[in-house]
Structure 1
């Protein structure tokens, strides 16, 4: 069966898979992202996945950004050894295959639209809530990438123009309120203490919130309100009909999604904004690879038709 090679690159892990046109996976591998020599690790990973199998038709890459699609370069925030790194051309040279690149959160959205919670949506916003907050838009089945490939950076939409200064340099960004580290930071600043011997992270904060600890509950309600403001704004701007939320923080489940539903009911006004359907991911960590594969299949099909 013919396949494409899908690659998902982040600050903590590298993943690759051979994916059929129906979304089936015939081989996959994952390994930690090294601090240096990332390309050597990626080359080894690709060799492992492709060994002994049929040569794939194309390569699709989802990578943490920022990136520059025109140049095919990436500068992932959590990968300091890559700055304006020519990832697309490096992979194309290694494989000899047509290669296409997009942001990792854009691939998450495309994967959910193809095989996950976003199926059937004419206007989808995918959101990854993790160490940072990323996003991607899929309109009429086509990913909206933007002039340089950075469309969908919803984590840096301003939800409070008088709010805290964000790590990006902006002010009041949703990431400053709802990312995992910022959830924990705010809770610690307001008196929360992690369980004895446990890390002070969003996962333990979620457990305490589920048990009703007041500061933990307040932290997730604060995060949910910031996310609601961003979702309502995106829905008003692009008439988004469905939102799929993934990433580690989404694993909090009702602790996040119940206050998010209440906050959306409060901040959304217009009927088409209020009607947006918010769902958790069903693909989880597989969504990025699925989106990279769909990107490669679409690229391969368009090249064949040209």
Structure 2
């Protein structure tokens, strides 16, 4: 492939929106668009909505950028099976065991590669972002849902089914709110965008100081458990909730992380914003 003429069609699928973009082989995101997730649609209709932005990006690749799309890279909210053969995002009820890879390959005629959205973010932040040059770290998405991707000894962890890194289902409030996974008190049930709206009656774009602080504290609690378990000293956090809450969130998360990471190897672990910002999910999808 030619770095000057070829691009990857990157696709990011979350509980609130689906995005598509064009990424060069150097990791530059040269174009992108998005569409909201309409939860009233059935599986086929939702995929048609995704196809509308994919078709738009493919057309712009040739007509506007004079470049050729060579492959499709996907980051999708989980759970997923290997290479997004099937996806069952907890926050997209119409897709249960949806054959995403097969549908995308048939639609585009291109090779399709995919992984969890937060694992894709880990690839992006390790390649071009806040974890560049680091062999051990976790990347997190705190948005509509909460997910994670873990890199140990330079290798992205897959786990038995490809779903390693689901930090959103670490329990942070025993006997807390019911989670979409069926358990109670998961980080996702307490600190995701959907949870915040359900708890406060306000969208996460209109948070109180107390909401931003509590969300950071809960994330810090989960992060401390992971750092103590896996001997990590860096956690990179992206997603619209975390980045939107800004310094209040990150300062609260760091304070709790400091309080609960007391072992010699985990003391001093840092939690930091994703350097790639809102570009990270698509860059990660392209990197898959």
Same fold (TM over 0.5): yes
Q: Is the 8 A contact 1:68 1:148 kept in 2?
A: yes
Separation (CA, whole Å) in 2 of partners of 1:9 and 1:61: 8
Shift of the 114–46 alpha-carbon distance from structure 1 to 2, 3 Å rule, reads same
Q: Distance in 2 between matches of 1:87 and 1:185?
A: 30
Partner of 2:105: 92
| 1:50 match | 58
Distance in structure 1 (CA, Å) of the matches to 2:84 and 2:286: 21
Displacement of 1:130: 1.9
1:64 and 1:85 mapped to 2: Cα distance? 12
Which digits, 9 at most, give the CA deviation of each residue in 1:75-133, with x for residues without a partner?
A: 12232332211111111222222211111122122222222222122112111112221
1:228 to 220, 226, 232: 220
Q: TM-score, normalised by structure 2?
A: 0.86
Matched, 1:82 2:95: yes
Instruction: Give, in angstroms, the shift of residue 50 of structure 1.
Output: 1.8
User: 1:171 offset after TM fit, Å?
Assistant: 2.8
Q: Secondary structure at the match of 1:79?
A: coil
Partner of 1:41: 49
- Give 3-state SS (helix, strand or coil) of 1:128's partner: strand
* Cα separation, partners in 2 of 1:56 and 1:245, compared to 1, 3 Å: same
In structure 1, the partner of 2:163 is 150
Q: Work out the CA distance in 1 between the residues paired with 2:254 and 2:178.
A: 26
Greater Rg by CA? 1
Residue 246 in structure 1 maps to residue 246 in structure 2: no
Report how many aligned residue pairs link the two structures: 274
2:28 corresponds to: 24
Aligned to 2:85: 72
Instruction: Please say if residues 70 and 148 of structure 1, whose CA atoms lie closer than 8 Å, have aligned partners that are also in contact.
Output: no
Structure 1 position 183, deviation (Å): 3.6
Per the normalisation by structure 1, the TM-score is 0.81
Which consecutive residues of structure 1, in runs of 5 or more, have no partner in the other structure? 189-199, 210-216, 296-306
Return closer, same or farther for 1:122/1:286 CA change in 2, 3 Å cut-off: same
Paired residues of 1:177 and 1:222 also in contact (CA < 8 A): no
Gaps of 5+ in 2: none
- Comparing 64-73 with 86-95, greater Cα deviation is found at 64-73
Give the drift of 1:241: 2.5
Structure 1 equivalent of residue 152 of structure 2: 139
Query: 2:46 and 2:175 mapped to 1: Cα distance?
Result: 39
Answer yes or no: is the 8 Å Cα contact 1:126–1:244 preserved in 2: yes
Secondary structure of 2:277's match?
A: coil
SS of the residue corresponding to residue 265 of structure 2 reads helix
Structure 1 segments of 4 or more deviating over 6 A?
Answer: none
Query: What is the CA–CA distance in structure 2 between the aligned matches of 1:136 and 1:74, rounded to whole Å?
Result: 17
